[in-house]
Structure 1
Amino acid sequence: MSNSTVANRYAVALFELGTEKSNLPQLEEELNTVVQVFKDDQELKAFFENPRVSKDDKKSFIREVFKSFSQETINLLLVLTDKNRVSSLNEIVKSFVNMKNEAKGIAEADVYSVRALSDEEQEQIQNVFAKKLNKDTLRINNIVEKSILGGLKVRIGNQIYDGTVKRKLQRIEQSVVSANK
């Protein structure tokens, strides 16, 4: 079974549990924190990947470190430890967040620009793309990329809307080259 299929199953179970208990936002926040902790701490990652460390030690560690988190988050980490799937946590969280966003009419967008966008500019982008995608809300993650000469590139899921000057110049070049053939 592929890693994404397994991750999706865990995410579905967690989403259903969170929906039932009405704590989806709390779960999302906790899961994002856990992912960040694993990302930032290489020693922690090595601890969980080490086959010499017993599962019981790993589970005790989870119970102690994440004791302020919801029982659902702790249980997920314990099950992942039992099944040697802690490495799937990133994919599980991505699937979970996507399900939660879909249910709430939210889309997430990476917006690449040459400089940080103002609140007003972000709001304009939110309005345009939320309507285009039939979503209630669009969460924007503004990524400053100096290689963009001007304009914007917006990535929502697997769709890319490229309105950068660089891309426009490429289109002009393609049309000039094809016209000269």
Structure 2
Amino acid sequence: MSKDLTVIAKRYASALFEVVGQENLDKAEAELRLVKSIMEQNHDIEKILNHPKISVQQKKQIVKDSIGTDISAPVLNTVFLLIDRNRQGLITEMASQFIGLANESRGIADATVYSVRLLSEDEKRQLEETFAKRVGKQRLRIENIIDQSLVGGVRIRIGNRIFDGSVRGKLERIERQLAATQG
């Protein structure tokens, strides 16, 4: 996505963030996570929303039916506004930007932890305590993804930072060092 479209999506997210306020922040974030998930998983919705022969009202109804009726007015109206202005392609990016704003206001960061097996709750808590301080956050929301290619250890992605403590990562670093000393 181009930088200009990201800026536009962030403006919509900021406006929605101001409208929902701190008291409804959790609900709006959960709703936008649902919207984002539906939009990313169902490519037919994207095709329908971008089809020129489908009316704006039909597009809104399709989105409303897909998302469900339990969505708050501010979130639904923001999605509808994007459709009205022919910016339906920004819905997922706007949701991502909103989630980022919500996390920032709470001192939370989303972290993806890649490991060779599922981590226990205790292991997740220990990783959260260690890495939240490193990135200047109070908490981490950890998503654990299994990656057998790591051989052992973990690789953590927090925003655009990667902490690689995997065996594969260590072997790759050793290989680069050996290549540099031989070349």
Same fold by TM-score, threshold 0.5 exceeded? yes
Task: Provide the secondary structure at the position in 1 that maps to 2:119.
Answer: coil
Which amino acid in structure 2 is aligned with residue 93 of structure 1? A
Matched, 1:24 2:34: no
Letter in 2 for 1:47: I
Residues 174, 17 of structure 1: CA spacing in aligned structure 2 closer, same or farther, 3 A cutoff?
same
Q: Which residue of 1 aligns with 2:154?
A: 152
Q: Which runs of 5+ in 1 are unaligned?
A: none
Other-structure match for 2:83:
81
- Residues 61, 124 of structure 1: CA spacing in aligned structure 2 closer, same or farther, 3 A cutoff? same
- C-alpha displacement at 1:103, in angstroms? 0.6
Q: Which stretch has the larger CA shift, 111-120 or 30-39?
A: 30-39
SS at match of 1:23: helix
* Residue of structure 1 in register with 2:134 after alignment: 132
- Aligned to 1:91, which of 90, 93, 111? 93
User: Which aligned pairs between 1:18-57 and structure 2 lie closer than 5 A?
Assistant: 18-19=20-21, 22-57=23-58
- TM-score, reference length from structure 2: 0.90
Where does residue 59 of structure 2 map in the other structure?
58
When residues 56 and 139 of structure 1 are mapped into structure 2, their CA distance, relative to the original with a 3 A threshold, is same
Matched, 1:120 2:122: yes
1:107 aligns with 2:109: yes
Q: 1:62/1:173 Cα in 2 relative to 1: closer, same or farther (>3 Å)?
A: closer
Encode CA deviations 1:78-113: one digit per residue, 9 max, x unaligned.
Answer: 101111111111111111111110110101111111
Distance (whole Å) between structure 1 residues aligned to residue 172 and residue 143 of structure 2: 26
Distance in 1 separating the partners of 2:87 and 2:180: 51
The DSSP-based 3-state class of the residue aligned with 1:2 is helix
Query: Structure 1 length normalisation: TM-score?
Result: 0.91
Q: 1:32, 1:82 → 2: CA distance?
A: 21
**C-alpha contact 1:62 1:74 (8 A) present in aligned 2:** no
Alignment identity in percent?
Answer: 37
**Distance apart, 1:57 and its partner CA:** 2.2
CA contact (8 A) 2:150 2:169 kept: no
Residue range with higher mean Cα deviation, 98-107 or 130-139: 130-139
Unaligned runs of at least 5 residues, structure 2: none
Task: After TM superposition, give the deviation of residue 42 of structure 1 in Å.
Answer: 3.3
Q: Retained in 2: the 8 A contact 1:7–1:92? A: yes
Q: In structure 2, do the counterparts of structure 1 residues 40 and 173 end up closer, same or farther at CA, with 3 Å as the change threshold?
A: closer
Alpha-carbon distance, 1:63 to partner: 5.1
Cα distance, 1:116 vs structure 2: 0.9
Match of 1:177 in 2: 179
Change (3 A) 1:178 1:63: closer
**Aligned residues between the structures:** 180
